[in-house]
Structure 1
Amino acid sequence: MDVQVRKGDTLWYYSQLFNIPLRFIIDSNSGVNPSGLVVGQTIQIPGYQTEPYRISPGDSFWKIASDRRISIDSLALLNPGVNPSQLQIGQTILIPSRVTERIVNGNQEYDFTVLTNDLEGLLSLYPFMRVETIGNSVMGKDLVELQIGNGAKVVHWNGSFHANEWITSAVIMQFLNDYLLALTNKETIRGLDVNPFYDQITLSIVPMVDPDGVNLVLNGPPEGPFGEQAIQINNGNQDYSGWKANIRGVDLNNQYPAKWEVEQERKPKEPSPRDFPGYEPLTEPEAIAMAELAQARQFEKMLAFHTQGEVIYWGYEGLEPPQSLTIVNEFQRVSGYQPIRNVYSFAGYKDWFIQVYRRPGFTVELGQGVNPLPLSQFDEIYQETIGIFLASLYM
């Protein structure tokens, strides 16, 4: 919600007027000098939107404010050209409306278009969330990283490394919405006050690592050479539900130089709907972007969300730090998912992250069944995963 600065206004006053923590207003207006507001300047108020209100007989600013439990001055701020003593029946004014319901619905086929629309909606409501394009997919789609908070410790989540595991993006985005709601409304999630995390942690999220692959699974092959190549790789089969790879048939979670040669030896030798590790490590732009992001952000811990199995892989060649066991035991406690230290699988993002940084890294396998998991599991998966999201912040 935008407001125009009046003489004497301050960001602190806006925080009191709308009951929004001051740090969220400051961070929503990064180009503004908090101690030098200029009359007429536009300020964004996070966690609010405006709604039109038509004046009825007997209405006054006092009555409207009383009925809506808002401040009279908030009405004056949003309606600078309106004379409160000369309201006209049928006149339309703006009313500030606190956002208390999520706008993200994860329980749907969650392709790149849905993600993009949800991100636009969240950014308009919560402009303190920072967005950076960390690279582009094979087909040129933006690979987006979201950042929330100002803490020195960086916690990273990612989803949809594998195309037919797109439900992970939906789960992440719905929790992100709930987290933003809790921050701006000073609420808890499962009894936990999340506001301290904003100053303690920077949360880094890449909600969809493989947007081209996700769109292929959900919408079929695109027109043009990439679609033609996908049809050829899939041997003309119109069912893409088993497709894990990116649009040109490289499995992004087999792309990392952590015993990549083992995967090369035993996996497909050419582009395939799944498991082809590429002709070399780190050839795909999506995999490269994620490697560069880890280097740039220096994550304290990293969680890669996949499906399926209700297990959490947490080790790699004995290189994981001791605290990984403590963390994964808490993940198990809050979700019921079983920790597995080692598995005969290599070249994944978690493997490479542990090998390079010697920090806690986890592959969290959501749900049970055959990928892509049905949306009938979404609510159960979401409830199981909330505790893992929260524990990754407080552990």
Structure 2
Amino acid sequence: MAPPPHAPLTPSQTAIIKSTVPILAAHGKTITTHFYASVLRSNPSLKSVFNNTHQATGHQASALAGALHAYASHIDDLGALSPAIQLITNKHASLCIQPAQYEVVGTYLLQSMKSVLGDATATPEVMEAWEAAYWQLADVLVAKEDALYKSTKGWDGWRDFRIARKERESVDITSFYLEPIEDEEEEMWFKPGQYVSVNIFVDELDGGVWQARQYSLSDAPGKGYLRISVKREAAIEIGEPRYMAEPGYLSNILHDRKEVGDVVRVTHPFGDFYLEEGEGGDDDGPVVLVSAGVGLTCLMSILKTVVEGGSKRPVAWIHGARDERSRAFRGQVEGMKGRDGGLKTVFFSSSPEEGEVEGRDYDVKGRVDLDRVGKDVLFTDNDKALYFVCGPTQFMLDVESKLKSFGVSGDRIKMELFGTGGVPKV
């Protein structure tokens, strides 16, 4: 249950927070780096909450610094931060963040501000204003996370799932079918496009630490399992210390160490990127899915939901991969082409291997380029069309820009801003 809210900021405190925006621009990363070092030194149990890779690379400190700067800049217009708050609260719920942890974070964050900025800048008035501002934001996050937890209908925290199947989808992507150990007949419901957190114990890290990663669900909801499809990052040696900060370390553990019958801990599905039932007016508007690389996993869930649910709305699947070996789910996608309503597909191959033939193994050579996709596939003349985009950040921004140049309104374009620091534009 969410605790009662704190007192709101006063007008003078709001003005003080606005005045610190340039200070955060200049010193935000130093403050957040100091914060993570101090809070983890004094509270080592939080190492299981914070991503070790993002800590080692400084990505998490940069993300928090950016979030603080955005918050201070919009302290008098928090509505502008709604997309960022949706993103953050879903991630927090997926990691089982609890209200008591906000007390710890607030204490050490304010101490770091004071330590880095010094008494001349971090005056009592400034620190008092920032304490009030911190709790204003924390109250918003805690309330929204409480609502998310209540929506799970009793699925609290981590649950044990058994790996029922491992299925290779491409040269570097493997699907894991996860079945609940308790309530084995339970149907797994979620919104197509959402993700789960998977918790894995890493023996080699600091004497053994639980680490969680989010993975998109890649199948339709309502089945007796959850399916995640995980990309293996190459050239990572499990157990070798120098690789422990690499982004793909946990994915390699899943690929190399986790076998059928093994148990992993999983949270309830969350995420603000999904196809909502009834979305797009009267449910007959086209759905256009645009992805690159492993970004196709969450879109596969949307595709299978539309097709298996019997919808007759048109669907287009535009995907880019390195070559045919790297193209996941080809057989499953090809098998859907005969459905009512039609499925249009365009596959871009950036580096087709020798022997691969255009028109058979791929449709277009090169990276995804919407200028090379017909309007009959993009449905840009249909104001009911919805666009779901997932891939590297710059890829998504480029696709968004191109769609807007074709006349697609921004409210019909959804992007999966997955990584830490993927704060939506405000």
TM-score (norm 1): 0.24
Structure number, greater radius of gyration: 1
TM-score (norm 2): 0.23
